[in-house]
Structure 1
Amino acid sequence: RPVNKPWIASNVNGEYTLYNDIPTSQDIAEYHRDLDGYLQNFIRYFLKNPEASRVSEGSQLLKNHYFPVMDPIENFTIEVAEVTANFYFPYAAFYNLLMHQGPKWYYYLEYIGKLSGHNMS
């Protein structure tokens, strides 16, 4: 139903750092070995009952965008963190902004310097 309330959303360029240390080295090795399977499972999680062609096409788009080079493993690990964070943060915000019928504002912040404060471990 139409809503007149404003929708305000934001994202930060370094949000992927939240996901840097979550996967184990075994997880990363498995994702590296079967990247298509990992991305397809991820898409299925977010799109309830998606068509197989959409899952396949989406995983290929993500693979081409985030993983043009699969090595070294350190870079691959960062890309896994980035694609994971983007599913939870920017993509979710963009989807909701597109769906919202009322006024909307979106802003994007950029970290400058080092992350500090809360220890995530």
Structure 2
Amino acid sequence: NKPWITSNANGEYTLFKNLPTSQEIAEYHQDLDGYLQNFMRYFLKNPKAFRVSEGIQLLKNHYFPVMDPIENFTIEVAEVTSDFYFPYPAIYNLLMHQGPKWYYYLEYIGKLSGHNMS
């Protein structure tokens, strides 16, 4: 089997932070279950209904323990969206791959990261 090498980086959620409009964020805030259900159905491909319900509850508990203020909710939407596109697929493929595998987690610490460099 061929080797599998993949990685993720901290802050990938910033790619999605300004993507939804304020109206879309308000809609997600009002119907969080519907928003998460769409993602679950898309990524799981023909999931069983009980798995979607369980998944939604797990995601809500992890990413959305507090729904307000809206600024925090916006960041949480970006984080869950980012995780659907980056870490979750990487981890899934690592679990499925039968050959040698390496996973790297990269952390950027610099001016744009928000970390205090002093």
TM-score (norm 1): 0.91
Compute the RMSD of aligned alpha carbons: 1.0
Match in the other structure for 1:66: 63
Runs of 4+ with >6 A deviation: none
SS in 2 for 1:54: helix
Q: How far 1:115 sits from its partner (Å)? A: 3.3
Deviation string, structure 1 residues 74-95 (Cα, Å, up to 9, x no partner): 0000000000000000000000
Gap runs ≥5 in structure 1 = 117-121
Q: How far 1:47 sits from its partner (Å)? A: 1.0
Match in the other structure for 1:112: 109
1:96 correspondence with 2:93: yes
1:19 correspondence with 2:11: no
**Which AA in structure 2 matches 1:107?**
Y
Query: Aligned equivalents of 1:105 and 1:114: distance in 2?
Result: 29
Query: Aligned equivalents of 1:70 and 1:5: distance in 2?
Result: 44
Count of aligned pairs: 113
**Which of the numbers 61, 75, 80 marks the counterpart of 1:78?**
75
1:29 correspondence with 2:26: yes
**Which AA in structure 2 matches 1:48?**
K
Q: How far 1:34 sits from its partner (Å)? A: 0.5
Match in the other structure for 1:119: none
TM-score (norm 2): 0.93
Query: Aligned equivalents of 1:17 and 1:108: distance in 2?
Result: 16
Query: Aligned equivalents of 1:93 and 1:30: distance in 2?
Result: 29
